[in-house]
């Protein structure tokens, strides 16, 4: 941990999350250039013949629990990616992924286990964020 030395000469800790370019204690570090999701995420693929992006390049196997757990891991991978690269373009990424999942709906209208596991993790984090945002401000009067 580095120390900042303000004008008054008093040292204070400086905590940095360089991956997303945030430096606490008042300054902003340069943002790391983001990579394309097709090059960084295990479940997104570029099609060689067309250059088209397959936003959900996942095939479930026959074991629901294993596929669900795989989807949860991919959900964590997605959250880590957007946390590291919070760009304007990546704020649209989830919509592309869900649209890709829609192409895998079975004949009964259900998503596969991996897609369900992915969405469970993303929704869990969305609920936590929404809970924090819905908290009333504390009045310090």
Residues 98 and 112 in one domain: yes
Residues 16 and 41 in one domain: no
Q: Residues 35, 119, 101, 94: is their CA dihedral positive or negative?
A: negative
Residues 81 and 59 in one domain: yes
Task: Quote the domain boundaries for residue 24.
Answer: 1-32
Identify the pLDDT of residue 73: 97
Of the candidates 125, 119, 14, which has an alpha carbon nearest to the alpha carbon of residue 72? 119
Whether residue 140 is contained in a domain is answered as no
By three-state DSSP, how is residue 131 classified? Answer: helix
Identify the pLDDT of residue 86: 85
> Would you give per-residue pLDDT tens digits along the chain (141 residues)?
344 444 445 444 433 333 444 444 444 444 555 578 888 999 999 988 888 999 999 999 999 999 999 999 999 999 999 998 888 778 899 999 999 999 889 899 999 999 999 999 999 999 998 898 888 876 655
Whether residue 80 is contained in a domain is answered as yes
Q: Are strands 16-17 and 22-23 parallel, antiparallel or unpaired?
A: antiparallel
Contacts of 102 (CB under 8 A, 6+ apart): none
Residues 45 and 92 in one domain: yes
Identify the pLDDT of residue 48: 86
Report how many domains make up the chain. 2
Residues 1 and 69 in one domain: no
What's the distance, CA 131 to chain centroid? Answer: 18
Residues 127 and 98 in one domain: yes
Residues 108 and 85 in one domain: yes
Whether residue 50 is contained in a domain is answered as yes
Residues 94 and 68 in one domain: yes
Q: What is the pTM of this model?
A: 0.70
Residues 61 and 90 in one domain: yes
Identify the pLDDT of residue 101: 96
């Amino acid at each position: 941990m580095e120390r900042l030395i303000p004008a008054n000469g008093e040292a204070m800790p400086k905590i940095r999350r360089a991956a997303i370019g945030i430096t606490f204690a008042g300054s902003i570090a340069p943002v790391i250039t983001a990579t394309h999701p097709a090059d960084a995420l295990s479940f997104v693929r570029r099609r060689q013949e067309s250059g088209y992006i397959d936003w959900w390049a996942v095939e479930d196997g026959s074991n629901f629990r294993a596929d669900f757990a795989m989807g949860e891991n991919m959900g964590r991978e997605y959250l880590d990616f957007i946390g590291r690269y919070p760009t304007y373009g990546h704020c649209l990424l989830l919509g592309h992924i869900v649209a890709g999942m829609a192409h895998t709906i079975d004949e009964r209208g259900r998503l596969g286990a991996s897609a369900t596991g992915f969405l469970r993790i993303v929704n869990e984090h969305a609920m936590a964020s929404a809970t924090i945002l819905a908290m009333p401000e504390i009045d310090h009067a």
